[in-house]
Structure 1
Amino acid sequence: MTRRLKRLAAGRTVLTVLTAFGMLAGTALTGAAPAGAVEAVTEIAPGVTYEQFDITATRGVTHAHVLRVDLRNPQVHLDLLYPGVVADRAPVSRLAQSVRAVAGVNGDFFNINEVQHPGVEATGAAVGPLIAHGRPLKAAVPNGQRFGPALPPGTNTREVFGVGVDRRARLDRLSLVGSVLTPEGRLPLGGLNQYALPENSVGAFTPKWGSVSRVRATCGTDTVRAAPCSTDTYEVTVRRGRVVSASNTPGSGPIAAGTTVLVGREAGAQQLRKLSTGERVTVRQRLWAARSRIPYRFALGGYPVLRGGQPSAGLDSTTSAVRTAVGIAGNGRRLVLLALDGAPAYRSGLSIAEVAAQMRALGSVDAFSLDGGGSSTLVAREPGASAVSVRNHPSDGAERPVPTGIGVFSAP
């Protein structure tokens, strides 16, 4: 253990959280960490604070790093951190610093490898929907194509956390609503900048996808990620509303401005083969919020662990790991961003049931789990600093490049 970790471990007051699912469901928590548990609270910017403390969990002591964000402060807002395209990754500190965020955490689970499909390039793209600056970037992959731990019962890959145009944070589900208008008629749009398309569908890839190969989008099935890649595929390039080229195999490379690449598999491929060079094609898409109907300014995927102060059904209470989560309080105007420490002394982490309990103990009414393990990273500016620094110890020993994060911004 490093000297720094020894000092941290020796001087902390232990915060005990509820670990039994039944206790969590039946016990009312006060909403804040007990007095003395937090080592110190540091103001990062007006409306943004940072704190850290120990948690005694089922498998031992872990260490929490927490950002509290007050959206009631007009200087504060949240937005998506990402490398500029969907199919790319970078460390959270670089993502935050490139857009001058004052703090942030890592985001959604992602297509981290392709061990089941030799020769197919992993895209690095996130699992769930993405919205940045009020504009949709991608839709959710099919449930069976998800990377990460099993989803709790009743949830799916369309689950999102985000902040609406009303400056209130909320949980919802974002569904892709879109179509491809052709001389033959209207085709339903099954995907937008996704590393996996539904079977028999047509997906749209825009310049925001990036330059990574689109072959991965035709691999696996709606229920089995490791299933073979489709042998019936077709790709059509549409530029300024007209078909300019086609291919039997999805391609790679940057997509030019004003261009959309349509990729079809199975029945979708058969529909695209009917198109001819020069024909007019119009692609329309949007991400629709199922519950609130309020447009999001920013949103990203994960899954809910707490709703209305109650844990989601079926949360795992046996598997502990380093975690990242975000909580909502104050009718969507106050946020809690948590990342656990991945240093060897604390790597036992929390189960998802314990994450729900801890987020509730920190005052959250709703809470959302993000990617964990080596991805868990929390960054924030030191007082007086112009750049963010990593506050937790990533469990890989260094920051893992990730496709998304939650950025906290403060207007000067």
Structure 2
Amino acid sequence: MAWSALAGATLVGAAPATGVQRTRTIAPGIQYSQYEISVAKRVARAHVLSLDLRDARVRVRLLYPGAVAARATVSRLAAAQGAVAGINGDFFHISETQHPGVAVTGSADGPAIANGHTLKAAVPDGQRFGPALPRGATTKDVLGVGTDRTARLDRLTLSGSVTTAQGRLPLGGFNQYALPQGSIGAYTSDWGGVSRARATCGTDTLRSAPCSADTYEVTIRGGRVVATADRPGSGPIAAGTTVLVGREAGARQLRKLFKGQPVQVRHRLVAASSRVSYLFALGGFPVLRHGTPLSGLDDTTSTLRTAVGIGDGGHRLLLLALDGAPGYRGGLTLAEVAAVLSKLGATDGFNLDGGGSTTLVARAPGASAATVRNHPSGGAERPVANGIGVFSVS
């Protein structure tokens, strides 16, 4: 692989690059670089994809394994969808030791949109599986690219309802592994075949709280109730079918429904900051806004990180993944990630799942598929819930 030196190797005053930055073009408008960062007696190796969204040949799409409640490695996801590069995405439900017997779903914490299609909404803040959120952040925060081909940070909130002859009920969840207490959630074929029981476990503030004993499930097909059950079920959901899962007050409302009754379910994600429709969006949390790091970012815990920077008025994306080789596992703190993204030219920064999930793949010249470029800390790729795919079209 041929590399060329780039000017301006110093990234930030507190974290200068110690090695010569190297880069190559993967496809028009898409570059892959790597360099070393020295900070606080640690050295981290960064792998970065730089995307020019002004180039009409560059596309950014959600990588996911065809179902919300599923996992796959980034390289497998990229190969399946024909991506030339990509990184891992949102934090996700990876273990369930606190609720024995409840299936592990692999579902992501935050909202997800793929090719303009809404896949899921966000779990309650207190139920997420990622690290503590920075002050003011929420599971509803997303990185998105709109129909205007501009990247931005935003917040996507679920707006939905279940309407019957008796009235309208609010929808509290959509294809997510945890529902707010007392709510009703809707599940579609996008969910997959994993049991929906985990959605009724925990509380809005305590993930490890027991599963609810007061649950109910209703299946809607063709706009009418076709089945009911006392507990959430499992198995694939047919296209055109919606399964409603209720807990506590939500379950009591669903028990009023009966087979053959007309029911209409509506759901959409409402953006807080943009009126432009999103073609792609996934969850995580912000670390940099309008050129300023978020207040109170952790500056003591260093680990492997995956992050995204937005620059050039939303027309450039920087996808960053740290290397997990033994000599580089010291990683970066969140405060250092924000500083590095800023020096690279980002005005906004978004942190994704890190540690053993951190993976960056890129296609070599002449290769048929993208392969892993960093060293995953576990020695092999970890299957993840979703990722960011980079595509080149002619």
Work out whether the TM-score is over 0.5.
Answer: yes
The aligned runs of 1:318-397 (5 Å cut-off) are 318-397=300-379
* 2:196 corresponding residue in structure 1: 214
1:36 Cα deviation from its structure 2 partner: 8.5
CA distance in 1, matches of 2:265, 2:134: 34
Asked whether the equivalents of residues 113 and 279 of structure 2 are also in contact (C-alpha less than 8 Å), the reply is yes
2:219 to 209, 216, 237: 237
Residue 56, structure 1, aligned to residue 38, structure 2: yes
Asked whether the equivalents of residues 93 and 105 of structure 2 are also in contact (C-alpha less than 8 Å), the reply is yes
1:293 Cα deviation from its structure 2 partner: 2.2
CA distance in 2, matches of 1:201, 1:78: 34
CA distance in 2, matches of 1:100, 1:335: 19
Asked whether the equivalents of residues 9 and 21 of structure 2 are also in contact (C-alpha less than 8 Å), the reply is no
CA distance in 2, matches of 1:34, 1:55: 6
Percent identity (aligned)? 66
1:216 alignment partner, SS class: helix
Structure 1 letter corresponding to 2:260: G
Residue 74, structure 1, aligned to residue 31, structure 2: no
Change (3 A) 1:395 1:36: closer
* 1:8 corresponding residue in structure 2: none
* 1:98 corresponding residue in structure 2: 80
* 2:23 corresponding residue in structure 1: 41
* 1:152 corresponding residue in structure 2: 134
* Bigger mean CA deviation after superposition, 178-187 or 168-177: 178-187
Q: Point out where structure 2 has 5 or more consecutive residues left out of the alignment.
A: none
The aligned runs of 1:113-262 (5 Å cut-off) are 113-262=95-244
1:183 Cα deviation from its structure 2 partner: 1.9
1:17 Cα deviation from its structure 2 partner: 5.5
Output one character per residue of 1:333-367: Cα deviation in whole Å (capped at 9) or x when no partner: 11100000011110000000000001011110101
Output one character per residue of 1:275-333: Cα deviation in whole Å (capped at 9) or x when no partner: 00000111101001011122111100000000111001110000000000000001111
Residue 309, structure 1, aligned to residue 291, structure 2: yes
Residue 111, structure 1, aligned to residue 93, structure 2: yes
TM-score (norm. length: structure 2):
0.96
Moved segments of 4+, more than 3 Å = 13-20, 33-39
2:70 to 80, 85, 88: 88
* 1:24 corresponding residue in structure 2: none
Asked whether the equivalents of residues 106 and 404 of structure 1 are also in contact (C-alpha less than 8 Å), the reply is yes
TM-score (norm. length: structure 1):
0.92
Change (3 A) 1:35 1:244: closer
CA distance in 2, matches of 1:122, 1:293: 35
Q: Point out where structure 1 has 5 or more consecutive residues left out of the alignment.
A: 1-10, 21-32
1:39 Cα deviation from its structure 2 partner: 3.5
Give the number of equivalent residue pairs. Answer: 390
Change (3 A) 1:15 1:228: farther
CA distance in 1, matches of 2:387, 2:280: 11
* Bigger mean CA deviation after superposition, 286-295 or 81-90: 286-295
Asked whether the equivalents of residues 88 and 359 of structure 2 are also in contact (C-alpha less than 8 Å), the reply is yes
